[in-house]
Every structure is written in C-alpha cells, then in structure tokens.
Structure 1
Amino acid sequence: MNPQSNLFNAAMKLKIGISACVLGQKVRYDGGHKQSEFCTSTLLPFADFVPFCPEQALGMGVPRPAIRLMKNASEQIRLVNNKDSSIDHTDAMQLLCAERLPQMADFSGYIVCAKSPSCGMERVRLVDEKGAQLGKVAVGLFTRELMQQYPWLPVEEDGRLLDAGIRESFVTRIYALSHWQQMMADGFSIGKLVKYHSQYKFVLLAHHPVAYRELGRLVAQGKLFAPEELANRYLISMQQALSQPTTRKNHANVLMHLQGFFKKVLSAEAKAELLQLIHQYRVGHIPLLAPLTLLKHHLRLHPDDYVACQRYLQPFPTELGVRI
C-alpha cells in the first residue's frame, strides 16, 4: 500500500479566494478579463474558488473609469480616479475590506490580479499628486489589507504563477495551510504542532534550510509562548519559508537525508543505485521523480512510520503536475 495514498481526499477541494477577472469574469475596468489558464484548467478540479472583485463590490460599473494609487502630501497612499484625483475611493475600499475580510478566515489561499491598484500584490504603479510616476513600488489596496489581516495566507499573483518555481511553492503552501486548518479545527495544542512539524520537516528543508532549523527550535521552545502567539509565529514563519522556491541542491540534500533511513536494510547494490540517481538529479540530468520514485519503492518494501508520514514525499496531489 502506498503510504501517501490517503493524504488527499478527491472530494475535498481547497477554498481559495481569487480575483474575479482571473477566473475569467468580465469585470475589469475596460469590460475585459485576465483569465488564468493555470487557475481555470490545472487548479480548478482541486479548488473551490471564491471569486471577488473589490472594485465591482464598491458599486463601480463595468466598464468604468480607471483608478490608480496616489501618494498625497501627507505620504498617504490613496485609491483615486485616474483622471480626477478628487474622486477618492480609499475610505470606501477600507470599509469594504473591514466588512469582507472576516469572511475569508477559512481560505487556504488567494490569487490576485497583477498590477491592479486594488488587487496587485507587488510592483503596482504609484504616482504623486501631480501625476508624476514614483515607480512600481505599491501594493493594491485590497490585497494590502488582506495580507495584513492574514499574514500566514498564501497570496500570489496570476502573472507570477507562470513561473514554475513560484507555482510549485504556492501549491505547496496552500496544501500545507489546508492541512494545518484541518488539524487545528478543534483547537491548537503543542502536541498537534509537534505532529504537524514532524510531517513537514523535509518540505521545509527543501525550501529554506535556515527556517527549517529556526522552526525546529521554536517548536522545541513552544511552552515559552502563549498558544495563540506560538501558533501565529510558527504558521507565519513556515509560510514565509515555503514561499522560497526549492532548488536541486536542497532537494538533493533532503533525498540524502531520506536515503539514510534505509542504509541498514538496503543491499550495497541498492544503495549505490539510489545514490547514483540522487547525484544525477543534483547535476540536472534527471527529474526529481526518478530518485523519489525509487525512495518510495524502498519505503514500500521496508516500511518506516517516520518516513511514511513525511509530506515531502507528496506535498500535494500528483495530478496537479507542478512539481519540478
């Protein structure tokens, strides 16, 4: 029996917020959309998407005048009409966020529209009161509030998800958060944290070796913190670590750790074969699937409860096809 076979319930879909235009809805200021093929094709069978357009929710029509982010004389960033900055939507947007964001506490991720003055996650254009460009240095007003209220929530832009490494990291993060939400549904405890962390050690090591060690120390010192503070510290730090894309070097390091669990049960020939595959992967000659498949084969022949529970072996459904 595959020890990872029951990790993902086919009927369970992750609740993911998404900019409505990214899902293909024609709600943009120009009456168009920015449909993401990854979201509407690859991710759709695994996601319960909750589309939302904050501009439309404010009552702005489709089509509508364009808006932009402006820094005023008081250094405040305001959401204003592109051609008439006296038409200011900032306060209305903040009220909308105060109303809607609490409804998103159970989301496992959020995908936003790049460059949008309401939804952009980074590099949104900012101007001064005279209209002079200050650079692509801002964050969309809605997304800024979203990330401040839920700093552990995986948030990513449609455009950035075209990058294979970022895409894999995002999918890893949403499944890790969903697992956390399931485990902590009836309350947080240090015992649950220890169990959760033990399952994600090698996932963390593949993404961020420094955070892997730091989070290990945090868990070991868990009794020094109030439960809510400990949960928040761990989850925020973990999600930040997983946002760092994996590398062949880090993966090879993890694979070497895992092969160590079998060194006493494998023949010299079997060990040499596995080590050769890890080396070939490290130097870029073969995909990760090759040594990983052989490791899983040895795990089936030589069961090990600790290795079997490692989410690294399958951090998300294989059918997503995003592992690199």
Structure 2
Amino acid sequence: MQQIKVGISACLLGDEVRFDGGHKRSAFCQEELGRHVEFVKLCPEVGIGMPVPRPTIRLEQHEGETRAIVPKTGEDVTDRLIGFAERAQGHLTHISGYVLCAKSPSCGMERVKLYDPVNGHARKEGEGIFAAQLRQRYPALPLEEDGRLNDPLLRENFVMRVYVYASWQQLPDPLSKADLLGFHTSLKLLLLAHNQDAYRALGREVAQMQEVTTQARTEYIEKVMAALATPATRANHTNVLQHIQGYFKQHLTAPQREELTDSILSYRKGTEPLLVPLTLLRHYLREHPSDYLSGQRYLNPYPKDLKLRYGI
C-alpha cells in the first residue's frame, strides 16, 4: 500500500504563515500522525498572494451569501480563495483526509465568526471558504479541525476514517462486485459500531447491486464515510464486542468466558478503556483463528503505536 497522504493547513505543521506571522503547530499531527502519513500542506491566504504578516480576513454575510472580506480595506477575496481551491485540486487528488485550522475564515470547518457588515455583530455560524470548497468537491473525504483533535473520541474517529478512505482509494477502477463485496465485508463491524441503520441499509444495497457503476461506487463510499463520521457510542461498541465474543463461545473455558464478559461490561460501565476487551479478543483470535474476524477493520483500524483506543 502506498503511503497515505493527508492535506493539512500549513500553520499546523509549524509554518509561520498566519496573519500575525505565527503558527499553530499541532504536536499530534507532526509528532504522531506524521510518522505514518505524508502531509500535503497548504495555506490558502499565502496561496492567493497575501503577505505574512497580513491584514486579517473575516467572514461577512452579504445578501445571504458568505464572503471573505479584509475589513481594513474592504477587499473581497472570496473568489480568489475559491480559485485557489480549484488550482489546488492537482495536489489533493490522492489525499485521504484533511486537517484544517479551526476558526480560520479560510479553513475553519464550523463555528467560524460570521459578521453582519451593518452592525458588526458576529455569530459563530460560519464555515471557512476553502473548507467549504473541500467539502463540496470531495464529499467523502474525512475532514477535521486541529482543535477537535484534542478530543480522544474525535481524534480516533478521524484517523480511523482516513485509513478506511485510503484503503478504498487503493481499490481498482473499474470496481468489480467481488472487490466491493470484499471491502464492504471488512467494514461490517465498524459500520455496526457507528451506525446500525447504515450497516443494514448498505448491506442490502451491496447484496442487490448487479454492477458497480461509477455512480454506485461514488454513492457507496459517500454513504460509508457519512456513517463512520459520528463516533461510536459505548453502547454500540459493547454490542460489537459481544458479537465478536460469540465467535469464541465454543472455544473458551468457563473462566475465560467470565473474564471476557467482565471486561466487556467494565468497558460498558466506563471503568476500563476499549483497548482492554479488544486485547483479550485479539488474543483469543490468535488462538482460535477466524478468517472473517481477521479481516475486520474494527479490530485493527490503524497503526497500534498511535494508541488511539487507550482513552476511549
């Protein structure tokens, strides 16, 4: 598998490109995730020729449309930022995710200040111009903000989605029904943990699909990534853990079954992290192999040294 590429706001890798000449270096991205992915860094403001340092940009609502305005001069740079997103597509063709700088009028995913130009009042309801372009051009692409990556659940969820999407990108094109079925089978327990309705619906769609058209391929991965975008609940994880436990029912001794049950219930109560019952299940899988379970991304969704399931 080729090295995974992830887009990122340049300031998050320590580049001093912010309006004040500073940066917002993300230790997680640079020191941990960076061991496993190749970052493709961009700064939209620098990309449209603005200097460092530079006058601030803010989002304003004009006749129901969000515009990026330089308050000091009144210059509207919206179209230039959209043009940059268009030009950047060549660099972003093979990325499997994107980490954006929070609160930025270009890169913020959500809750960016949106100003009323008449009274100057702001509501935290905006989306950065470049971030909006990414979402529109690449609907299935995992997106996340640096600030939200401080939340263990959101961090784990984002990295998991990056690895799922990267695996999808490695599938052949055109895609055979067998290849689609194999990929979907590997996701079953992940989908069950994140969205039970999508798990059932996508299973029916794949089973009934006669031919994997370009449209069907696109719709499938968009639905998968939408389903995985919401972090799995403790209750849903418990359901999946108990589901996996059933595969070992005939192989374990009574004390082993009791230990595994106690571990799963302790996770359910919040007294142990997810890693504890998963470690037991992986141990039993080595002792009692199952091709189906071995192929499930739920058990090994990303490199273990990222330690993302220690805190959830």
Both proteins in one fold, TM over 0.5: yes
In the alignment, the residues of structure 2 paired with residue 219 and residue 94 of structure 1 have an alpha-carbon distance, to the nearest angstrom, of 36
Query: Residue in 2 aligned with 1:3?
Result: none
Corresponding residue SS for 1:116 = coil
Query: Residue in 2 aligned with 1:322?
Result: 308
In the alignment, the residues of structure 1 paired with residue 266 and residue 126 of structure 2 have an alpha-carbon distance, to the nearest angstrom, of 43
Deviation at 1:167, TM superposition (A): 0.4
Letter in 2 for 1:76: E
Q: Give the TM-score of the pair, scaled to structure 1.
A: 0.91
Corresponding residue SS for 1:49 = strand
Corresponding residue SS for 2:40 = strand
Q: In the alignment, is residue 286 of structure 1 matched against residue 286 of structure 2? A: no
In the alignment, the residues of structure 2 paired with residue 23 and residue 252 of structure 1 have an alpha-carbon distance, to the nearest angstrom, of 37
Deviation at 1:134, TM superposition (A): 4.2
Q: In the alignment, is residue 93 of structure 1 matched against residue 93 of structure 2? A: no
Written as runs of structure 1 = structure 2, the 5 A alignment for 1:243-254 is 243-254=229-240
Partners of 1:18 and 1:49 within 8 A in 2: yes
Q: In the alignment, is residue 138 of structure 1 matched against residue 133 of structure 2? A: no
In the alignment, the residues of structure 1 paired with residue 203 and residue 40 of structure 2 have an alpha-carbon distance, to the nearest angstrom, of 34
In the alignment, the residues of structure 2 paired with residue 58 and residue 14 of structure 1 have an alpha-carbon distance, to the nearest angstrom, of 27
Partners of 1:66 and 1:81 within 8 A in 2: yes
Encode CA deviations 1:175-198: one digit per residue, 9 max, x unaligned.
Answer: 0011111123x4322221110111
In the alignment, the residues of structure 2 paired with residue 220 and residue 312 of structure 1 have an alpha-carbon distance, to the nearest angstrom, of 21
Partners of 2:40 and 2:91 within 8 A in 1: no
Deviation at 1:271, TM superposition (A): 2.1
Written as runs of structure 1 = structure 2, the 5 A alignment for 1:33-182 is 33-72=23-62, 74-85=63-74, 87-182=75-170
Note closer, same or farther for the CA distance 1:226–1:290 as it changes in structure 2 (3 Å cut).
closer
Corresponding residue SS for 2:235 = helix
Corresponding residue SS for 1:174 = helix
Deviation at 1:230, TM superposition (A): 1.6
Encode CA deviations 1:55-78: one digit per residue, 9 max, x unaligned.
Answer: 001000000111111111x32221
Letter in 2 for 1:118: S
Query: Residue in 2 aligned with 1:237?
Result: 223
Query: Residue in 2 aligned with 1:5?
Result: none
Query: Residue in 1 aligned with 2:11?
Result: 21
Corresponding residue SS for 2:283 = helix
Larger RCO (CA under 8 A, 6+ residues apart): 1
Deviation at 1:212, TM superposition (A): 1.5
How many residue pairs align between the two structures? 310
Query: Residue in 2 aligned with 1:217?
Result: 204
In the alignment, the residues of structure 2 paired with residue 204 and residue 198 of structure 1 have an alpha-carbon distance, to the nearest angstrom, of 10
Corresponding residue SS for 1:313 = coil
In the alignment, the residues of structure 2 paired with residue 23 and residue 258 of structure 1 have an alpha-carbon distance, to the nearest angstrom, of 39
Encode CA deviations 1:222-267: one digit per residue, 9 max, x unaligned.
Answer: 23x7612221222111111211112221111101111111112223
CA RMSD of aligned residues (A): 1.6
Partners of 2:59 and 2:113 within 8 A in 1: yes
Partners of 2:177 and 2:212 within 8 A in 1: no
Percent pairwise identity? 47
Encode CA deviations 1:157-208: one digit per residue, 9 max, x unaligned.
Answer: 0011111110000010000011111123x43222211101111111111222
